[in-house]
Chain A
């Protein structure tokens, strides 16, 4: 491994860490609010859960793209 390859890998690792911050906060807010909604209206729990999974899937994609780019770099 040359010097520049190691540096590139390290920078890619930092990039993946930065890409994980936003989705982490987003999924936290989303799941927290979903739990609150389920606690307030337990009869709507099924609908809330489906919507929560949808939201998590959309939010998570950003972190996963960062993960793939880390391996590509």
Chain B
């Protein structure tokens, strides 16, 4: 991206001085190469890189089984234990071990995708393109609906649209609300939560870093503006740390909510 043009695209003739770029320009990616007539853009390439990175992390961490694992191995084992014990069996119950592989791959893929926001040279979180969160959310949707039908048969739908523990006059209304909230709102809110957090972080970091850059390079009074530009970069550093926390937390929350949704269709009473 050409930063000078981005910042100094100004019309001096009219009263409106600068036209700020539209936010979508931060998330548009160019085509890198074409394979068999399919254009592969930067986000798709990074998605493949993230998938390969997850496989590589798991392979290299757990390749050698020993009593005392290496430092890297024990760090990855800590993450896997967190997902398997706290999320899978902790929330779903003993049946959770069946869903643990899905939850672990979900967690690691989202984590790597989110941390790409902070990786120098990449600086683009793939989860800030709606396609990836909505696909992951729909995968969770398919799994919890399938688990519900497998566990309870058609009674799964029956419990939702005709709840027995509600007074009979209100059953149709509660049924409609439950149906909409479980089958339509759940995947949407799951996807939007991840997407919007990463979009906000990416926009915030871009604004701070570009403002600092423009301050330092753009104006004539070098010392004065240099000090202000460095202050913008210090603020950007603080936001960097905050975004690292947000990236990890959002991956955790996506996995946690997937587990909770699976749990509600496996154990309907709670």
**Does A1 reach chain B (CB closer than 8 Å)?**
yes
Structural contact, B16 and A64, CB atoms closer than 8 A = no
> A67 with B257: in contact, given A1-B19, A50-B90, A61-B189 (CB under 8 Å)?
no
B: interface residue count bin: 20 to 34
Q: Which of A1, A56, A61 has the most CB of B within 10 A?
A: A61
Structural contact, B19 and A57, CB atoms closer than 8 A = no
Complex formed: what's the CA distance from A50 to B86 in Å? 9
**Does B98 reach chain A (CB closer than 8 Å)?**
no
Chain B hits for A67, CB < 8 A: 196, 199-200
Chain A hits for B249, CB < 8 A: 53
Query: Total A-B residue pairs with C-beta atoms closer than 8 Å?
Result: 40
A: interface residue count bin: 10 to 19
Structural contact, A64 and B196, CB atoms closer than 8 A = yes
Chain B hits for A50, CB < 8 A: 86, 90-91, 256
> A64 with B193: in contact, given A53-B249, A57-B253, A57-B257 (CB under 8 Å)?
yes
Chain B hits for A57, CB < 8 A: 193, 253, 256-257
Scan B230-264; emit 1 where CB is below 8 A from any A CB, else 0.
Answer: 00000000000000000001001100110010000
Chain A hits for B193, CB < 8 A: 57, 60-61, 64
Complex formed: what's the CA distance from A61 to B16 in Å? 36
Structural contact, A54 and B256, CB atoms closer than 8 A = yes
Least distance between A39 CB and chain B CB atoms (Å): 22
Structural contact, A54 and B16, CB atoms closer than 8 A = no
Please give me the residue from chain A that is nearest to B195 by CB atom.
A68
Option from A46, A53, A71 in Cβ contact (under 8 Å) with B253: A53
**Does B23 reach chain A (CB closer than 8 Å)?**
yes
Complex formed: what's the CA distance from A65 to B90 in Å? 29
Q: Which of A50, A53, A57 has the most CB of B within 10 A?
A: A57
Complex formed: what's the CA distance from A65 to B91 in Å? 26
**Does B197 reach chain A (CB closer than 8 Å)?**
yes
Chain B hits for A61, CB < 8 A: 189, 192-193
Q: Which of B184-213 contact A (CB under 8 A)?
A: 189, 192-193, 195-197, 199-200
Complex formed: what's the CA distance from A46 to B86 in Å? 9
Option from A46, A54, A65 in Cβ contact (under 8 Å) with B260: A54
Complex formed: what's the CA distance from A23 to B161 in Å? 29
Chain B hits for A54, CB < 8 A: 253, 256-257, 260
Chain A hits for B19, CB < 8 A: 1
Complex formed: what's the CA distance from A61 to B197 in Å? 10
Option from A1, A56, A71 in Cβ contact (under 8 Å) with B16: A1
B positions within 8 Å CB-CB of A: 16, 19, 23, 86, 90-91, 189, 192-193, 195-197, 199-200, 249, 252-253, 256-257, 260
A positions within 8 Å CB-CB of B: 1, 46, 50, 53-54, 56-57, 60-61, 64-65, 67-68, 71
Q: Which 8 A-B pairs have the closest CB atoms?
A: A64-B196, A57-B253, A61-B189, A67-B196, A68-B196, A61-B193, A64-B193, A64-B192
